[in-house]
Amino acid sequence: MPAITLPDGSVRQFDAPVTGTDVAAAIGPGLARAALAMKLDGKEVDLSTPIGQDASVVFITRRDPEALELIRHDAAHVLAEAVQALYPGTQVTIGPSIENGFYYDFARNDPFTPEDFPAIEAKMREIVGRGEKFVREEIDRDAAIAFFQDRGEKYKAQLIQDLPGTETISLYKQGDWLDLCRGPHMRSTADVGTAFKLMKVAGAYWRGDHRNAMLSRIYGTAWRDQKELDAYLHQLEEAERRDHRKIGKEMDLFHIQEEAVGSIFWHPKGWKLYRTVEAYMRRRLDANGYQEVKTPQLVDRSLWEKSGHWDNYRQNMFITQVQDEDKFLALKPMNCPCHIQIFRQGMRSYRELPLRMAEFGSCHRYEPSGALHGIMRVRAFTQDDAHIFCTEEQIAPETARFITLLSQIYADFGFPDFRIKFSDRPEARIGSDDLWDHAEASLREACAIAGVAYELNPGEGAFYGPKLEFVLRDAIGRDWQCGTLQVDPNLPERLDAEYVGEDGARHRPMMLHRAILGSFERFLGILIEQYAGRFPLWLAPVQAVVATIVADADDYAREVAAAFARAGLAVETDLSNQKINAKVREHSLAHVPVLAVVGRKEAESRTVALRRLGSQAQEVLSLDEAVARLASEATPPDLKSGNVA
């Protein structure tokens, strides 16, 4: 007879097999009301699951983080029932819970539009209000396939068909409606609650494969209560204000126009930001043993044929041809083959390794139109690229060294936390398993040396080697790969790079492809969103504005601005005949970090009144002191004393 161990260590004996519902009731009416599901020996299951033997049970209530996932998953079922009730003939497919919500993919001739949402939401509330019990039923595989086929649910039938034969097929009923589902679920549709909202419609390929039919996906968000939902919606609104496209316009940083899709027109302030980041990166690379090079933009197709890119990526390359010439040149989509050309000049010795060759390489790729996104995903971009030619033994130490450098740089830009994904061998790959074993082991070892944790991203490596991806998140919660490090034993072979070893014989170097920012464009986009345009002083494109209160202070204001400029500050003057209130407002909205206000008082005493963005306080300093202090504050992190790279 089952003895149930509870989280507090206590044990309850029962005379006969029980369900979670029974156990909760035995403990108390409060828990019986609150329990939504349970963890049975660590596995999440329905409350109604029978317990015949000794087991440990942890109840999940609305307060537990696990509840969110249950609510969202159940909400997806409720959505599916609502849709099938309102739009007969719609087939159901899958509907998981996701971060912040859920979605459900439907097969239907006429896709949904947001105008359908009110009706669907109303129907969902009705279903939740009915509080139909979720009833689990296990069913024979063939019977299940026949059942769904009879109902015209061919996607469900196919799902079952493709499940491994050992899998138990379970259905979940809620009143008259049912769905194929592994579970678990809460007690009834009432447990979903009312804190949900349909968010958007989207197309999505069946099983994520572009060769398959496109389904109509409805996204929703669901929370434990209205307060959480409101907070989430509010947070979304806030995030939209940080959108780099919006801020880029407001701060006059850049624009993109139809005649150059996927390419950026950098305006003076945006380019200033770009140059600040570039100058910083160049100093970091110089200090870390990199040699900077510059390679051609247009390169004959023969080189791309040798490297393999012509075969693999021709569709995504910009090809040019000059009139009256048969030659085809490609705008380089990447820098590696060019760097190998430099490596191949003359005879290389093992003594030169590891050789770190860096380039702020301008690349062009014909990205699919749907992939373009502001300045984060473009067709013309500049990588902070470098290739490290090294021996196999040097892979791990070089990688560790790289991670250290990257961490430092990310921290300087205000990203102390980032995610690392480890992508190992994909199905379609070149090179022997032995080679891959070595390359992956080196990367793992490097991560251990660097002391960093990573998530495994199975099968997502490049075709030539495993890679690490360094991922940052934008304002809206989308993840972007920025940094990367790829181990490549292949390209040196194809393009015949070699060096003379200690033994006097010729060897193939290994090649590490690596980038820290990834591309300037993407990184600047993330950076803009990270700071919502309110950059730290060293990054701000306009660091200070000297604003006058009266015209009598104009000459002094010019003097102050000149002194700021001599100290290397990016400064502007505002001598317009507006009230100081208006000037404060205008430059605050423009995210200028320092406002130096001068009136008659300041002109007479040779002081300035500094006001920092986000603060209402004023600090009156002598001109000399203000210059010294701001100049020191505006020093890039790598140039601060005591922090020399």
Partner RNA sequence: GCCGGCGUAGCUCAGGGGUAGAGCAACUGAUUCGUAAUCAGUAGGUCCACAGUUCGAUUCUGUGCGCCGGCACCA
Q: Any idea which residues carry the catalytic annotation?
A: 336, 365, 383, 385, 387, 467, 513
Angle at 601 between CA 599 and CA 605, to 5 degrees: 120
At closest approach, how far in Å is the CB of 135 from RNA? 32
3-state secondary structure of 368: coil
Rounded-to-integer distance, Cα 201 and Cα 505, Å: 62
- Beta carbons within 8 Å of 21's beta carbon, 6+ residues apart: 32, 35, 47, 48, 187
At closest approach, how far in Å is the CB of 12 from RNA? 45
Task: Give the DSSP H/E element, type plus range, for residue 515.
Answer: strand 510-519
Structure tokens that stand for 7 in this block:
């989280």
Pair 482, 470: CB distance under 8 Å: yes
Nearest CB to RNA, comparing residues 279 and 589: 589
Nearest CB to RNA, comparing residues 111 and 131: 111
At closest approach, how far in Å is the CB of 90 from RNA? 14
Nearest CB to RNA, comparing residues 291 and 312: 312
Pair 423, 559: CB distance under 8 Å: no
3-state secondary structure of 282: helix
Nearest CB to RNA, comparing residues 397 and 599: 599
Structure tokens that stand for 118 in this block:
């009110």
At closest approach, how far in Å is the CB of 382 from RNA? 15
Which residue, among 337, 354, 361, has the nearest Cα to 521 in the 3D structure? 361
Rounded-to-integer distance, Cα 16 and Cα 53, Å: 9
At closest approach, how far in Å is the CB of 366 from RNA? 7
Structure tokens that stand for 378 in this block:
């473009």
3-state secondary structure of 154: helix
At closest approach, how far in Å is the CB of 119 from RNA? 16
DSSP state of 17: -
3-state secondary structure of 456: strand
Nearest CB to RNA, comparing residues 8 and 259: 259
Query: What length is written for the chain?
Result: 645
Nearest CB to RNA, comparing residues 30 and 203: 203
Nearest CB to RNA, comparing residues 36 and 609: 609
At closest approach, how far in Å is the CB of 204 from RNA? 4
The runs of H, that is alpha helices, within 314-456 are 336-343, 395-412, 433-450
Nearest CB to RNA, comparing residues 193 and 465: 465
Pair 442, 415: CB distance under 8 Å: no
CA-to-CA separations, 211 to 158, 205, 633, in angstroms, rounded = 16, 8, 55
Which residue, among 116, 61, 54, 59, has the nearest Cα to 90 in the 3D structure? 116
At closest approach, how far in Å is the CB of 53 from RNA? 41
3-state secondary structure of 3: strand
CA atoms within 13 Å, Cβ hemisphere of 497: 27
